[in-house]
Amino acid sequence: MEPIESVALVGAGTMGSGVAQKAAQEGFRVQLIDRDIQSTERGIQMISSTLGEAVERRIMTQEKVEEVLSNVIPVVNTENVDVATDIVIEAVFEDFEVKSSVFEAIDKSCAEHTVIATNTSSLSVNKLSKSTNRPDKFIGLHFFYHPAKNRLVEIIPGDETSSETLERVEQFCKRIGKVPIICKDKPGFVVNRFFVPWLNEAVLILEDGLGTPEQIDLIAKEVFEIGMGPFALMNATGLPIALHSSDYLSEQLNTPRFKGASLLRKTVNSGNKWVIEETGESTDNYEAIKNRLLGVTFLVAAQIVQENICKLEDVDCGAKVGLRWQKGPFELMNNLGIKESCQIVREYSAIAGKGLQIPVLLENRTEEFAFELVEVKMQGSIARVKINRPDVMNALNVTVVKQLTKIMEDLNHNKDVTTIVFEGAGKAFIAGADVKFFVEKLREDNFKRIYDFTESGHELLNLIEKSQKTTIALTTGITYGGGLEFALSCDYRIGSKKTEFRFPETGIGIYPGLGGTQRMSRIVGVEIARWAILAGNKINGEFSKQLGIIDEFSSETEVENCVLKLAGFEKSENKFRGKPFHITTEIETIMRFYGDNALSEVLSGRTPVGFDAEDPFVVSQLKSLSRKAPIAIKMASQLINESTKTNLDAGLQLELDRLETIFSTKDALEGLSALVESRRPSYQNQ
């Protein structure tokens, strides 16, 4: 399968320019196509403006902005698209005839291998594919506003879309930092199927006199844990879009309840927005408003799963990633209680009418919904294990560890499996453990739950470490804390320019408790382990290759070839080398600074003999160490030292044995709480 390398966007409006910007940011050369030079220039100006905001917020440098803009190539008229383009994404006005004419032009102008994608939010992908002579290379890509920032994309294969096209497009979406969910070609796809009726229901609630726009927004924000309520959202994205989407869903699904509310239609026709007055007045109809908004959400979400449009995990992923809800519909049902949630749906169904009968999925249901947070796919003898929590960067929690353990046990006993590859959904491999869990249990004075979770994590990583299969971690993204410890338990690690390793634990009041102090030092040596763990230094892909943390440094397009290469290897006999791959000048400096002769001075905040106090390296290291929890640094340092005196199993047990000591400190609660609360911790060495 040839990866997608060249990209074109047809339509230089907000969506087209946004997608072009995101692809350009990830290093793709992008043609931005529109009918005249003025339109393409406006599109590039929109990109420049968005990038300028990123510079003001210090998210991006001016040099990076220039690099991104240089990757965007203006093109006038679709007929002038580069014939060899790998994918052309249409992002023009949501009109069937307009889109069809674009596809006919692309079909004639591009090579046989070119994939054509439509960024439709409502039209049928199957019907649009008939406008081309390549339905096998036609696909839907529904990006969400703003496409340069919102990570969600719905991938909608048509009935004739080939598996190769789907695989190429899914890989492309991941390469531009998107979280893809694959769904069937049904009206509203996934997110809009429940989100548009949610917006319309808010207007119906207003029409029924149950509350003002302000009151309804406040209740929605509290119940769904969101930053903007439905009326504020419609004001931001445009009332005409909400009306058009509501009417479309109502017609396509034959559901009168979804037809644009009369007050919405009246407001659109007047050219006005919703008036949201901040009066602070409460309403006696809190429960009625809450239940109407929850009722439509729960019912339609259940319909989506019942119709096999996608999995329930993808529905929740769409809500959390695309809409930035804290919880998806099914997680909300679990939290509220299945019995109460089903009663809310029954009451809503009774007033909603045709097309909104209570789904079988919710009839007489008593059990909570179970989420499969880990997926396994077989590629011959290679098992691909994906942790699928992109909304929290695949953080390890009790459920994930439990599911991974069961999967590892099954795969270890499967004689047809030779290799196990671990990867994460979205931009991270694994960004650590669920810190909120630690804070919650500490405040409950329930250390046992923390110990049990950590012990189960050790058992999982030992299953990986001692597996007879070849194990590979695809660490081509953010890999922090427990995620890095997970990766170190594997035989091999693959990195890329997007790799970012870090042990943040001492900065949040604890030490790496899933084997980090033991495996890291055994792989790269105690000096590098001290540099990485005590000071929490970030390590990019290229440097991690020099250190020997990763075994293969790959381009984005060569990752799969690296997987196949390593899959053919036996288990590594040279994993625990105890030293870096290459001793460069930079690495030699690190090793001297964190060596036995200098360590006591360094940990005391003093410049060791042989180093210049004004040296930027010395300044940065001492500053970093000064911001860590002193007890955590001391205990982590002791555990790293123990790695030279014990075998691996004994060293891992020491991490567990000292767990209660570190978690019982005031600094541990302070550091973990500060992370959750997004503030700088204040340590007291207690």
- Strand-pair category, 539-540 with 500-502: antiparallel
For residue 148, count other CB atoms closer than 10 A to its CB.
Answer: 25
383 contact partners, CB below 8 Å, separation of at least 6: 376, 377, 411, 414, 417, 419, 420, 421, 469
Burial class, 640, CB count within 10 angstroms (exposed 0-12 / middle 13-18 / buried 19+) = buried
Residue 149 per-residue DSSP state: T
When computed from its CA atoms, the radius of gyration of the chain, rounded to whole angstroms, is: 27
For 246-277, b/e burial (b = at least 16 CB within 10 A) is bbbbbeebebebbbbbeebbebbeeeeebebe
Give the strands of the sheet with 492-495, arranged side by side.
374-379, 382-387, 419-424, 470-474, 492-495, 552-553
Burial class, 18, CB count within 10 angstroms (exposed 0-12 / middle 13-18 / buried 19+) = buried
For 477-492, b/e burial (b = at least 16 CB within 10 A) is bbbbbbbbbbbbbbbb
Measured between alpha carbons, how far is 17 from 509 in angstroms, rounded to an integer?
Answer: 44
Measured between alpha carbons, how far is 511 from 349 in angstroms, rounded to an integer?
Answer: 51
Structure tokens at 314: 């993808």
680 Ramachandran zone, left/alpha/beta (phi>0; psi -120 to 50): beta
DSSP 71-111: TEEEEESGGGS-TT-SEEEE---S-HHHHHHHHHHHHHHS-
Active site residues: 121, 142, 154, 192
Phi, psi of 275 (to 5 degrees): -95, 115
DSSP 397-444: -HHHHHHHHHHHHHHHT-TT--EEEEEESTTEEE--B-HHHHHHHHHT
Element (H, E) at 142: strand 138-143
How far from each other are the two terminal CA atoms of the chain, in whole angstroms? 57
Decide if 411 contacts 383 (C-beta within 8 A): yes
Structure tokens at 51: 């990038």
**Residue recorded with tokens 């763990």:** 533
